[in-house]
């Protein structure tokens, strides 16, 4: 049986930060399922190469630049007439002791992870509200709930994005627009490769994850397609934690066979 419930075919999908990593994997997944996908990133050459490889349409846009976001949304609406699903994926991180962050570090992280997504969500949201239809998916993080040590501004920005998800869901639900988030666990990408290549980190991550491995970008496809589809028609304001079970409890090293 062809299952229309989970179909995203024919949708116009906009993915921020999709030249690599999670954004690229999600963009490709929507292309493969018959959606028209517009991807954004900062560098034209890498973005265009990624777009060509996965069959998406590239639009250069620095998510920290308000006027670039305005141009992006105007262009996409002009060319495609609508956005059915927006995926806010672009994100950055810098790890430091909290007292060592500079104002420039703070602005860099918060502008990309929180301010830009807010501007993009509201710009796309205005058009979705006019149609009375649309779905937005924000990629938050485990830091949506409790912070990991050493990433304070990142954790703050992701918690802010979680709150934005709920606030927009609350305001836009009555007008037909759904807003949800996906909180990935530890996913191997360029952003995290160096961290997880340290054996002590990998051992900690794997032994504290009930499904006993770190994640890959493709692990997030199911949740994203589900949230974008009719199958999630009665879901808004939710966070789906795709983390191999990491947040389900504490894997204390007690010997159960002793």
Phi and psi of 179, rounded to 5°?
Answer: -135, 120
The smaller minimum CB distance to ligand NAI, of residues 127 and 182, is found at: 182
Q: What would the DSSP string read from start to end of 120-153? A: HHHHHHHHHHHHT-EEEEEE--GGGTSPPTT-HH
Beginning with the edge strand found earlier in the chain, give each strand of the sheet holding 12-16 in spatial order: 57-60, 36-41, 12-16, 85-88, 134-139, 177-184, 239-242
* Closest CB 249 distance from ligand NAI, rounded Å: 19
Out of 11, 21, 36, 51, point to the residue binding ligand NAI (CB under 6 A).
21
Site for ligand NAI in 72-111 (CB under 6 A): 89-92
DSSP state of 87: E
Separation between Cα atoms, residue 244 and residue 75, nearest integer Å: 38
Single out the residue of 6, 7, 20, 57 in contact with ligand NAI (rule: CB under 6 A): 20
Q: Does 62 participate in binding ligand NAI (rule CB under 6 A)?
A: yes
Nearest to 226 by CA among 7, 29, 54: 7
Q: Given candidates 32, 94, 101, 192, which one binds ligand NAI under the rule CB under 6 A? A: 192
* Nearer to ligand NAI among residue 124 and residue 139 (C-beta): 139
Contact pick of 187, 221, 228, 240 for ligand NAI (by CB under 6 A) = 187
Asked whether the beta carbons of 128 and 142 are under 8 A apart, the reply is no
Helix, strand, or coil (residue 215): strand
> Can 154 be counted among the known catalytic residues?
yes
Quick check: 204 binds ligand NAI (CB under 6 A)? Answer: no
Q: Decide: is 189 part of the binding site for ligand NAI (CB under 6 A).
A: yes
For ligand NAI, the closer CB: 133 or 212: 212
Among 14, 22, 119, 228, binds ligand NAI (CB under 6 A): 22
Contact between 63 and ligand NAI (CB under 6 A)? yes
- Minimal distance in Å, beta carbon 144 to ligand NAI? 9
User: How many residues touch ligand NAI (CB under 6 A)?
Assistant: 28
Distance CA 188, CA 50 (A): 18
CA distance 28 to 142: 24
Give the residues lining the site for ligand NAI (CB under 6 A): 16-23, 40-42, 62-64, 89-92, 112, 139, 141, 184, 186-187, 189-192
């Amino acid at each position: 049986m062809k299952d229309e419930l989970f179909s995203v075919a024919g949708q116009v999908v906009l993915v921020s930060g999709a030249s690599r990593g999670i954004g690229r994997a999600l963009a490709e997944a929507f292309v493969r399922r018959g959606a028209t996908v517009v991807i954004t990133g900062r560098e034209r050459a890498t973005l265009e190469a990624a777009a060509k490889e996965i069959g998406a349409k590239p639009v250069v846009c620095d998510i920290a630049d308000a006027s670039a976001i305005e141009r992006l949304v105007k262009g996409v609406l002009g060319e495609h007439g609508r956005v059915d699903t927006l995926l806010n994926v672009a994100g950055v991180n810098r790890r430091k002791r909290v007292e060592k962050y500079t104002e420039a570090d703070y602005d860099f992280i918060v502008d990309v992870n929180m301010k830009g997504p807010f501007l993009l969500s509201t710009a796309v949201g205005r058009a979705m509200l006019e149609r009375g239809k649309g779905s937005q998916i924000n990629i938050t993080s485990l830091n949506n709930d409790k912070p990991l040590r050493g990433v304070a501004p990142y954790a703050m920005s992701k918690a802010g994005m979680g709150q934005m998800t709920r606030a927009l869901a609350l305001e836009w639900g009555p007008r037909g627009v759904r807003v949800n988030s996906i909180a990935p666990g530890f996913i191997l990408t360029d952003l995290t490769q160096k961290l997880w290549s340290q054996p002590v980190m990998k051992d900690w991550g794997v032994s504290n994850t009930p499904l006993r491995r770190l994640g890959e970008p493709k692990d997030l496809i199911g949740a994203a397609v589900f949230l974008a589809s009719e199958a999630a028609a009665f879901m808004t304001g939710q966070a789906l934690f795709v983390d191999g079970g990491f947040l389900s409890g504490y894997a204390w090293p007690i010997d159960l066979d002793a």
